[in-house]
Chains A and B, each alone.
Chain A
Amino acid sequence: MAEDTKRNGRDGGAAARRRVRRGITEAGLTFLVLACLILTNVAAARVAPVIDLTRDKLYTLSSQTEQLLSGLESDVQVLVFAGQDAFYRQDLGGLLAEYRRTSPRISYEFVDPSLEPALAQAHGVTQTDIMVIITGERKRQVPVLLLFAPGDHPDGIKFSGEQALNLAILELTREHVRPVLFLVGHGEPDPFEEFPALIEALRRELYRVDSLNLARKPIPEDTALIIMVGPHQDPSPAEIEALDGWLRSGGRLMILLDPAPPGTFPQLVQFLARWGVEVHDDVVVDPERALFMDPMTPVARLDWHPLTEALIARDLLVAMPRSRSMAAGSAPDGHEVQTVFGTSEAAWGERDLTGAEPKNDPQDVQPPFSMALAVVAKQQDGESVEPRLLAVGSSGFIHPSVAEFQGNTDFFLNALNWLAGEEQQMTVRPKQRIYQRVFLTPQDARFVFNTTVIALPLGSFALGILAWLRRRNK
């Protein structure tokens, strides 16, 4: 008996030891597997790629942003002073995370000023919904609500955070702002009234936009470039002389000259001819590259040029409503004329501007011809030297009704940056994030409601009753 008890005790002790050993092994294995999972997740978070699969690449930073971020020479910190329930946390947080992924120089943090009042005070923030962008000793406050604009729909909003962030970073990292002057006094449209979106875009590119009447005052010295958009009257000889002198001294000039009857701009035409640009008194008709079946709004055939490179890379088109044609003439010594974009071989320059049905007549201008020509100094020792002139046969492509078309605005802004010598800014710019909408009639809405809220749940419930009946009858 005592022997049995002793043996049982020995067996029980061995079993208990086995259980303990097994328990330790199990715990070790579990710990090991979980530790491996955690470590691989930490590693994945650092190296795993992020792919934007949305149709319009809504969450991919634009080339402009990538250029800006890759060129950052100092760290940029973004502090978003936001309430805990701020509606923009997801949109803005996602955007800032993408900035951070693109450049290690960017860091960001959401701060609740009610929880960290000292930090808010240190940055002069007295309310929520303020973004503070800091680089070195410089900082800039941007109200977050400025990143949002009303959409087309009463409940809809457009998010333009990328544009606003870029502007703030540019303003902090760029040393100076140069003026761009729109010529007035020849019936040109007021750019501030006619092209407000473009003026805003220029501001985002860090230009100060102003107008200039050459009959009243000379060209200021620090001017980046002068733009003449769609004049209706010929400039005076004195004004032409001022422009010519400005160009010869290394100035930059863009002229958007709409079709007009012969003899409307004798001074301007002569001036352009002196610089190697022969403008024709016609309107381009291109049945092969017509936009929305309008042959007088051709989609330009882009030639390779620094001005069009970014557009060609992104396969973006430029529409040119009511453009005159032009051809390369003889440029002044040391200069050359370059084609920026033209038309198809089927196009012609319609000389009959009376509005009659366009028809390719013998007196019309025949291709090849261009709709935009650039005049530059020939390269010397591998370096491009001043001056630069760009002549475009239409001002219609920046009209608000067409400017949103594919590459129109980007072409205008790239041209402007090229003229101003800011080649690093020639790119494709961020678009506002706009949600697609659907228009439902009351019948459509009833159909949607009946299908989703009534039919589907009821159908499922009916299946449940059938299953119950079947079970009961078994």
Chain B
Amino acid sequence: MTKVWAVYWREVQAYFLSPVAYVFMAVFLLLTGWFFAARLFATQYIEMQVVFANMTFMFVFIAPLLTMRLLAEERRMGTDEFLLTAPLTVGQIVVGKFLAAVTVYLAFLAVTGVYPWLLYRYGFPDWVTIGTGYLGVILVGAAYLAVGVLASSLTNSQMVAGLLGFGVLLLSLVVDRAAVVSTGLLAKVLQAISISARANGLYMGVLNVADLFYLISFTGGLLFLTVRVMERRRWL
């Protein structure tokens, strides 16, 4: 655990000592803030269902930027050799780096805690629904970050890792959309694999344990693949 913590802490410091994470956060907050205010003014509904969906949509663009450096940069600089020969397992390296990215994402979300506070200031929001909504946003964001981490393990170029991660996430948006507009068996299959369709219930306050399991296992599966990719480099 201390080894994971060492990797995690190094990455968290790298994130927060650089201005880049703050700029991403500013952009994220500007857009989510705009969506929140516009939705509230237009409908006057005390709910955040649509805002949650917007948050995860915007994170499609930010997640690859946050993760593209994580493993690709180590490989480009040659520091991955030190990491791979250090008394650490590849799993510990991947989990430490992934958790650091998730921490940055949680920091983004923590600031958006102002939105429910504003709803509370003027009305009576359903706190449990807001709680499950945030759980959905966290799980979807973690899945997107796992996609970015896997992309970063496949190349030594940050740019390529970023574009690859973004491409895959864009594809997931296409799947989300196709799941809505298709019919029959295809619709059922697409709905089953669509990340956003799986999170919709949580945004609405409905906890489907199967959706929860899917989102967690999707992230776990991608991290597992990342470990396999890194391991392959170790013995190849």
Contact = CB atoms under 8 A, between A and B. Distances in A.
Interface stretch (B58-66, B91-99, B116-124, B151-159): B116-124
B205 interface: yes
A30 interface: yes
Interface stretch (A179-187, A188-196, A368-376, A456-464): A456-464
B81 interface: no
B87 interface: no
Q: Is the interface of A mostly helix, strand, loop or mixed?
A: helix
A445 B44 CA distance: 11
B67 interface: no
Given A53-B128, A435-B46, A456-B114, A41 B26 contact: no
Main secondary structure of the interface of B (DSSP, over half): helix
Contacts, number: 185
A464 B22 contact: yes
A19 to B, nearest CB: 7
A460 B210 contact: no
B5 interface: no
A109 interface: yes
B191 to A, nearest CB: 9
A451 interface: yes
A435 B205 CA distance: 13
Contact of A453 (B17, B37, B209): B37
B120 to A, nearest CB: 10
Contacts of A115: 183
Given A59-B205, A112-B183, A436 B46 contact: yes
A40 B210 CA distance: 10
Interface residues of B, number: 66
- Interface-centre pick from A29, A30, A112 (highest chain B CB count, 10 A): A30
Interface string A122-151: 000000000000000000000000000000
A174 interface: no
A44 interface: yes
A45 interface: yes
B43 interface: yes
Contacts of B209: 44, 48-51
B17 A471 contact: yes
A436 to B, nearest CB: 4
A108 to B, nearest CB: 11
B37 A448 contact: yes
Nearest to B129: A54
Interface string B186-204: 0100001000000011001
A84 B190 CA distance: 15
B31 to A, nearest CB: 9
A55 interface: yes
B23 A436 contact: no
Contacts of A439: 44, 122
Contacts of A53: 128-129, 132, 205-207
A448 B183 contact: no
A32 to B, nearest CB: 11
B34 to A, nearest CB: 5
Contacts of A59: 204-206
9 contacts: A50-B201, A50-B209, A52-B206, A54-B204, A155-B43, A436-B46, A457-B26, A464-B25, A467-B17
Interface of A: 19, 22, 26, 29-30, 33-34, 37, 40-41, 44-45, 48-56, 58-59, 84-85, 89-90, 94, 109-112, 115-116, 153, 155-156, 435-440, 444-445, 448-449, 451-453, 456-458, 460-461, 463-465, 467-468, 470-471
The 7 A-B pairs of least Cβ separation, nearest first, read A464-B22, A452-B33, A48-B209, A48-B210, A84-B181, A54-B205, A457-B30
